[in-house]
Every structure is written in C-alpha cells, then in structure tokens.
Amino acid sequence: MAVTPSVVWFRDDLRLDDNPALLAAIKHGGPVVAVYVLDEESAGIRPYGGAAKWWLHESLVSLSRGLAQLGAQLLLGRGPAERILPSLVAETGAGAVYWNRRYGAAERSVDARLKTGLRADGVEVASFAATLLHEPWTIATGQGTPYSVFTPFWRACQAAPPPRAPMDAPEAIDGWTGRAATDDLEEWGLLPTKPDWAGGFRDAWSPGEASAHRLLEEFLADKLDSYANERDIPGQSATSGLSPHLRWGEISPYRVLHETEEARRGATGRKAEGATRFITELGWREFASHVLFAAPDLATVNWRREFDAFPWPPLNEDALRAWQRGKTGIPIVDAGMRELWRTGAMHNRVRMIVASFLIKNLLIDWRHGEQWFWDTLVDADAANNAFNWQWIASSGADAAPYFRIFNPELQAKKFDPHGEYIRQNVPEWETDDYPQPIVDLAKTRKAALAAYDVVTRAKQESD
C-alpha cells in the first residue's frame, strides 16, 4: 500500500535547517507537499506592513529555490488557512499535515480549529517547537503565573531543561509531483512598484537562509569580542544583523544558541562576555513572546492597566508626521527615523531614543509609534514590537519603578559622541538647512512627568 503524501505548512519558519515540521513530513514517507499560506483574512490575524511584505517576498523566493534544489516545489495560497489547508489535503490526498507552532492568540485559534477538523477527517496532524527556545507554558513562577520581570524569567529559563540541539537540513526531499493549485508570488503584489521605495532595503539586506547563516558565522568570528562594549553604539557595525532573519525563521534560535555556546566554550575575557550578552538578547526575544502569549492584546492595550489613566492630549498630526519623516530638529531622532525609512531597520539603542521622544516629548500615544514601526520594519514582530513600545512607554513589563525618559541629546553624546551615525543619515545636519527642534526637551519632559502623576494618583486611589 502506497504511503500517502504529507503536507508541511511553512509559516514563521522559512528555512530548511532545523525545521522539525519539514523533517517530520520527510520521515512520514511518501511525497512531501510544501506550502506557504498568506493569511491576512482570518479573524484577529494582523496584516503585514509594507516593509515586512518586501522581506516576505524575498524570503519566499529564497525558500522556494532551496526546496527546488532538494527536489520539492513550494506551493502558495492566499486566503484563510482554514479554507486553503483542507482543500490542499483533499487535492493531494495527503494523510498528514505538519507545522511548527505559533504563539499569537488568533494564530493559535486557527491552528487548533485546523487540527481538530483535519483529525476528524482522519488526517494525522502534529505541531512542533521551532520558534522559541522555551515554550510559554513551560516557564512560570512558583504560583504558576507568567513572569512579569525579565531577570527572574531568564533565571528560570536557565534553570529549565536545556533547549534541544538543532537538527540539520535534509539532503533531499521526495517532493510532490502531482498537479495542485498554487498562486504566482508576483501576483501577490508584496513588492513596491510606484514608487519603488525598497532600493535602500536591497542595499542593506539579503533575505534568506544562506544570508542568515553567513551573518551568524561572521558575527561569531569577527564581532563577538566587541559586542558587549559596542552593541549600543549605532555608528559601529557591532551587532549581528540577525533580527529580521530570526523574525522570519530563516535561522532558528536553537541554531543561534548552539553556535554561540560553541563559540563561548573555552573563550575568556571580552569574547566570553560578548557571547553571554548575545545569549541574553535571545532571552529578551523569548520574554517578549511569553508576555504576548499571556497578553494577546499587547499591541493595543496597556499591559499595566493603570496607564489607561494617562492623559494623552489630542493627537498633533504635524508633530507625528515630522517624527515619521525624521524632521523633528533633534539630530539623533531624525537619524534613526531616516535610517528606518531607508533600510527598514534601526539600531536598537536608537529605537529606544526615538520611541521615548514620541511618547514622552511629543506626548503621542505609544500605539501610533507601534503601528508605524509595524509598517516600516522588516523585522516587525508581533511580540517584540509591541513589547518594546510598551517598555519605553512605561506601561509594559518592566522592573523599573520610575517613568523612564530618554534625553535624546544626552543619548547622542553618550552613544554617538562624534556624530558618525547622525552624519550617515542626516547629511544636512550642522548646516543652515537643518530645522530647529519642534519641541523644547526640558518643557516637554516636565509635561510628561505631570501626565505620569495622573497615572500615579489614579493607581493610589484604586489601591
């Protein structure tokens, strides 16, 4: 009796290396049907922003090429996954469907309904851990609740059973050769046309699995010893550049952790320090996803509900537009916002500075910034983006007992003392063409603190 085909459903795991769902489909025996579904229609699924769509297009091209080299075709479907997956199973006669788990509430609901429906039809369904080192339900406080502070969370992760070793990519795939419906990627219209604003993206990035592994190798070989000391300096190329590759699953966190631990083994001094710091950054990525798992509305609702009392003034559209365009008259802020528009990314230290300026100096609700980043970041991630904006707003998961306000001028002096980063992104800086600041930093800081007092009083009254 012939073995039925199996479907591997790619999602946030656009890779061949360390892909448990793909390996399970191969192990099942019979032809492998590889599919990616662009689902922006299911209830609660957040449509991708423009920058993310650019990356997705390029990553799917890379994945399709990699699968073809091993003997498989990548099928494409656009629409609700609950319609496309069962239809593909029926069309191919597949007896099994495999995928790697997602952790957003809407995505989990889609997956659960699909799993129930397909199993009712006699189809084997299995899902796997591939996106996080520790799944959210495996790390909890002594009371069984999610952690709300990073340090004890990361301590618990380190005390937990160690993450599994990464699994090598297959050497060949018995790909499905029958006829099955598939979309043309170009017809999805993920790339910009008029105007084509992605020129800077193409200069800055090479999406795909091969690039991700090359970046990791180069980082561990050349940058690890300076990472801890220089990671906050935006004018230096001291970071790994892996953020979008991790976001789209072109490289797994298991692979990154394994290779970094290998580099740390036997290392001393700055190299060992850099490896430890880099692994801790993986921990922050984990923490954000665990917080989102416990608070699915993180992108729209204050994690600290007392911040619902924050007295946001009416939206100043002109100020928001100046911030978006990098024309605030605050050099480090404008440099960051222009880097974002040109490359689809921004140095992490500068992300904190521009976010603080929007929220604390312009007194613009953090949700406007979160939405702008969602549309303009190539690494826009449902957990990290919302988590980081709420952290800067002081409404999120944060151990700090105070209302954090970054002074952009002091931040620039500390982390870009010679103005290298600013000059890279704001060529008219230090000329008469550069605008005056749109706000007074000292006055707006006082206004932000006064607004925070409203939150403090409201919390005291509720307690």
366 counts as catalytic: yes
Q: Which of 284, 316, 341, 407 is catalytic?
A: 284
In 3D, which of 408, 404, 311, 328 has the Cα closest to residue 363?
Answer: 311
323 counts as catalytic: no
CA distance 216 to 386: 26
DSSP assigned state of 361: I
CB-based contact 33:122 (threshold 8 Å): no
Q: Which of 262, 312, 420, 430 is catalytic?
A: 312
CB-based contact 57:191 (threshold 8 Å): yes
CA distance 64 to 67: 5
Map tokens 């002109």 to a residue. 318
Instruction: Return the SS3 of 388.
Output: helix
Task: Identify residue 140 by its one-letter amino acid code.
Answer: A
In 3D, which of 348, 334, 332 has the Cα closest to residue 419?
Answer: 332
In 3D, which of 370, 201, 180 has the Cα closest to residue 288?
Answer: 370
- Rounded to 5°, angle at Cα 259 from 258 and 260: 90
Q: Which of 261, 281, 306, 409 is catalytic?
A: 281
Cα dihedral: 164, 210, 11, 294 (round 10): 50
- Rounded to 5°, angle at Cα 180 from 66 and 54: 45
CA distance 86 to 125: 12
Q: Which strands form 74-78's sheet, in the order they lie side by side?
A: 74-78, 32-38, 6-10, 96-100, 124-128
* Radius of gyration from C-alpha coordinates of the chain: 23
281 counts as catalytic: yes
Q: Which of 9, 372, 374, 389 is catalytic?
A: 389
Q: What separation in angstroms does the CA of 432 have from each of 228, 289, 418, 428, 429?
A: 37, 45, 20, 8, 8
CB-based contact 134:157 (threshold 8 Å): yes
Q: Which of 229, 316, 348, 407 is catalytic?
A: 348
389 counts as catalytic: yes
Q: Which of 9, 154, 366, 391 is catalytic?
A: 366
205 counts as catalytic: no
312 counts as catalytic: yes
Catalytic residue numbers, as ranges: 281, 284, 312, 348, 366, 389
